[in-house]
Structure 1
Amino acid sequence: MSKYCFIIPNYNHHQQIQEVVAALGAFNLPIIMVNDASNQTTRTVLEALEQETPRLKLVHHQRNQGKGGAVQTGLKVAHELGFTHALQIDADGQHNLADIAPMLALSEANPQAVISGAPEFDDSIPKHRFISRYITHFWVTIETLSFALKDTMCGFRVYPLAPCNALQKKVSLGKRMDFDIEILVRLYWQQTPIIFKSTKVTYPEDGASHFKLFRDNLLISWMHTRLFFGMLLRIPSLLRRKFPL
């Protein structure tokens, strides 16, 4: 029987987090929030929120690891607590909470699959983020020899925890903005089904972005280099999937 929870990575997001947690209450599911060494103001807000929200479990990083590191901690804790699936959602309010119910329904109907948001953006998306998505999509198509992965940068996903746990034990995944891309490509490589659900994404005007233009683009470039050479080793199996005998 499937057992679901939410995972929220949080680094210095305290403005919208109370509203996000309150909205998630409609689903009556446990929430694992990973405080990625946030400042004291955010930590105080999160600790107070934990006290008043019985279903919320707060996990603290003593040093900042990045969004990917926080999500990986959340996935590990969720698996250890006996959950079978976890829905990752951002703390800054940019994800459309109205899509949670259909994403959970898709997951229940396809329990072996990752259910990933396929973003529909409005004019609030920063231009450099929009351009980087097209560059990444080009490289992901090469790394998978497929157009199957419609988007790999959206962090709004339902993960089946068994294949994620197995992958985390085999590979050291990126811990910052490279994580969302890498885990989806590697799950595709190990033949985990991936289903996409269209979702509207808005970047709040008062939202704080932790995307560091130079650092994160460098990390993503290095990740694509690793994945490209990983693809070369997997060409026979990827082609067999594309052209089954």
Structure 2
Amino acid sequence: MDVSASAEGAFNVAIVIPVYNHEGAIGPTLASVLTYGYPVLLVDDGSDPVCRDVLIELERQYGDEVQLIRLEQNGGKGAAVKAGLRHLLAMGYSHGIQVDADGQHDLTDLPTLVATARREPDALVTGYPKYDDSVPALRYYARYLTHVWVWINTLSFRIKDTMCGFRVYPLEQVVSLLDREPCGNRMDFDTEVIVRWAWRGLPVENLPTRVHYPIDGVSHFNAVKDNVLISLMHARLFFGMLLRFPVILRNRFRG
């Protein structure tokens, strides 16, 4: 998974997949991702031994196409994505593509995400979901409450969805953001990082993508813990928005 020497500013893309106890889903997901020809970084978020061993075998099976790093303690999806993005930047990649391990993303949209990122290299390119009947009704309706808070906290409707984990990040910019501003380590990460990205006046590109829930029936969304974290995140962002109100307005009208 080496990045060949290239001119400064080259567009080099790799995929990061955070994994926590998705031993049944990660094999098919990884095989599907690899058909598109991009190198893959698996981030084992402190999985149990069964999943850990599956990931070690997948790295061995695919050789140079796949690299595995392991977090000794489970830190949450956000912590795993952060570790992966930092690792890709250190390896010399310009952009990191976030893909969930459970197979919910329609990978046929991957070339469109990459083409958009190539055309708009400074933009965070994010999918916004088009659901089928597999989506849990509670999650489907609850995410719209998050949309309302995001619209309030960004003073804008330009972000169509903040909870979809199918994204392309410009690595230098996002790692700089993560080094300077707090972002949640669990299911609150996807929303918080894109709101803070928007606060900086950085561009966002939204692309529709189909979403299916999930192929192994495993969800690590904790209805109590994660909803509390998400509620605290929205409160934190609201007060952050108030402090940044003039700057957010200036960036909005300048953009």
**TM-score in terms of structure 2 length:** 0.93
Q: Give secondary structure in 1 for the equivalent of 2:35.
A: helix
CA contact 1:163–1:192 (8 Å) conserved in 2: no
Is the aligned partner of 1:115 residue 2:125? Answer: yes
Gaps of 5+ in 2: 1-9
Aligned to 2:139: 129
The equivalences for 1:53-132 within 5 A come to 53-54=62-63, 55-132=65-142
2:195 to 171, 185, 194: 185
Measured in 2, the distance between the counterparts of 1:27 and 1:111 equals 19
Amino-acid identity (%): 45
Measured in 2, the distance between the counterparts of 1:2 and 1:153 equals 26
Q: Give secondary structure in 2 for the equivalent of 1:235.
A: helix
Q: Give secondary structure in 2 for the equivalent of 1:57.
A: strand
- Aligned-residue CA RMSD in angstroms? 1.3
Aligned to 2:186: 176
Aligned to 2:161: 151
AA matched with 1:36: D
AA matched with 1:19: P
Is the aligned partner of 1:15 residue 2:24? Answer: yes
Deviation at 1:24, TM superposition (A): 1.9
Which piece of structure 1 moves more, 202-211 or 65-74? 202-211
AA matched with 2:37: N
CA contact 1:145–1:238 (8 Å) conserved in 2: yes
Q: Give secondary structure in 2 for the equivalent of 1:206.
A: coil
AA matched with 2:17: I
Q: 1:79/1:144 Cα in 2 relative to 1: closer, same or farther (>3 Å)?
A: same
Deviation per CA, 1:62-97: give whole Å up to 9, x if none. 110000110000011011111110110011100001
- Aligned pair count? 245
AA matched with 1:89: V
Aligned to 1:29: 38
Aligned to 2:4: none
AA matched with 1:142: I
CA contact 1:89–1:157 (8 Å) conserved in 2: yes
Measured in 1, the distance between the counterparts of 2:254 and 2:103 equals 42
Q: Give secondary structure in 1 for the equivalent of 2:207.
A: strand
**TM-score in terms of structure 1 length:** 0.97
Q: Give secondary structure in 2 for the equivalent of 1:213.
A: coil
